[in-house]
Amino acid sequence: MPDIVVMGDINVDVIFTIPAYPLPGNEAIATTVQLHTGGSAVNTAIALAKMDMNVGFIGRVGSDPLANQVIADLQSAGVDCSQVQVDPKVSTGMIFIAVTEDGERTMFGARGANSFTQAREIDPKYFASCRWIHLSSYSFLAHHQYETILSALDIAENSPYTRVSLDIGTEPAIRARARILELLPRIDVILPNETEVTLLGSGLPVDDSLAFLLNGQGANAVVTKRGRKGCLLAVGDKRVAFPSFEVDVKDSTGAGDSFNAGVVLARLVGLSWEASAALGNALGGLSTTQQGAGAASLSRAAVARMVEKHLFKSEWSPVRSALEELTAYFEGIL
């Protein structure tokens, strides 16, 4: 049975690399086209598996050839797929992603079988040794899938040692805001970006939105992804900003998903909130150095080298203790 159970969408990513995003009514000629296994929760699961964590996945695919490839890719990465559901009628989810030369991406999604994930097909015994459940808020957008989230939270609350994280997406922050806010006290940490923080905070500035979530809505911790600017840790009255790592960005697809994996991994092995935020930045940054979602390229050794390389850089001096903690952690396991 897995230590970590990840629940969310399973997709096929169709990635077009284009010189620039076209104006409405115009066109762009792709220089490359790639197909990858994707979905934000899938990327997080793969990143955790590549960091040698014991990970299982719960989601739903269609009974089509793309599903076979998706399952094969997950299994190849080391993710257990024994609880992935198969829909006999609806196709596997698909995301079309346009990536411009600066590494930014624009996404169009068709959720397919994901929306029909069934709570009644979840085996509670699968969570017998689970210490962490990671959820995607895209699961809040469909009734059946939302029911699986509630089932997972019930399982976590009946366990004395299972913690829960929630990735926040822009669409869920808009369309499922009430559901997200209602469940905040039941979640150990949420992982939004700056736009999503302000959406959850009714348009307030980031600092005020964080205060609203933590003090007004019962959130336990918020680690806000800030892209090239790093991240912001908010726990209680603590606010700590972390810089990003210096990397050669090729594609930002899935960077936030790998970031999530870093935070989950660090908290699961007992590292501080500061080290957890720094590890999120490390995994997120390293994943951008590859085309497509870069989670599959991650490794403990590569992350350890990058952390060590930045240990004495001036921008990290205010939070150098977080890198020192990570260095000690990797020295103990490599």
- pLDDT tens digit string along 107-151? 888 999 999 999 999 999 999 999 999 999 999 999 999 999 999
Dihedral sign of CA atoms 156, 188, 1, 46 in order? positive
Same domain, 6 and 151: yes
Same domain, 4 and 133: yes
> What is the spatial distance between Cα 297 and Cα 66, in angstroms, rounded to a whole number?
22
Per-residue pLDDT band for 160 (boundaries 50, 70, 90) equals: confident
Same domain, 162 and 257: no
Q: Which residues contact 65 (CB under 8 A, 6 or more apart)?
A: none
SS3 98: strand
Total number of domains in the chain: 2
What is the per-residue pLDDT across 78-96, written as a single tens digit (0 to 9) for each? Answer: 999 999 999 999 999 998 8
What's the whole-number mean pLDDT along residues 41-51? Answer: 96
Return the pLDDT at 292.
62
Per the domain annotation, does 81 fall within a domain? yes
User: Residue 280: which domain range?
Assistant: 240-334
> What is the spatial distance between Cα 221 and Cα 280, in angstroms, rounded to a whole number?
14
Per the domain annotation, does 188 fall within a domain? no
What is the per-residue pLDDT across 237-293, written as a single tens digit (0 to 9) for each? Answer: 999 999 999 998 887 878 999 999 999 999 999 999 999 999 999 999 999 888 765
Buried b (16+ CB within 10 A) or exposed e, 174-203: eebbebbbebbeebbbbbbbbebbbbbbee
Same domain, 159 and 249: no
Per the domain annotation, does 309 fall within a domain? yes
Same domain, 46 and 158: yes
Q: Check whether 294 has a pLDDT greater than 90.
A: no
Return the pLDDT at 303.
95
Same domain, 155 and 274: no
Per-residue pLDDT band for 102 (boundaries 50, 70, 90) equals: confident
Q: Check whether 103 has a pLDDT greater than 90.
A: no
Per the domain annotation, does 205 fall within a domain? no
What is the per-residue pLDDT across 201-233, written as a single tens digit (0 to 9) for each? Answer: 999 999 999 999 999 999 999 999 999 999 999
Per the domain annotation, does 256 fall within a domain? yes
Domain final residue pick, 167, 187, 219: 167
> What is the spatial distance between Cα 199 and Cα 182, in angstroms, rounded to a whole number?
15
For the chain, percent helix, then strand, then coil, each to nearest 5?
45, 20, 30
Length of the chain: 334
Label residue 273 exposed, middle or buried (CB < 10 Å: 0-12, 13-18, 19+).
Answer: buried
Domain final residue pick, 104, 133, 167: 167
Domain final residue pick, 167, 182, 197: 167
Per the domain annotation, does 113 fall within a domain? yes
Q: Residue 90 is part of a domain; what is its CATH number?
A: 3.40.1190.20
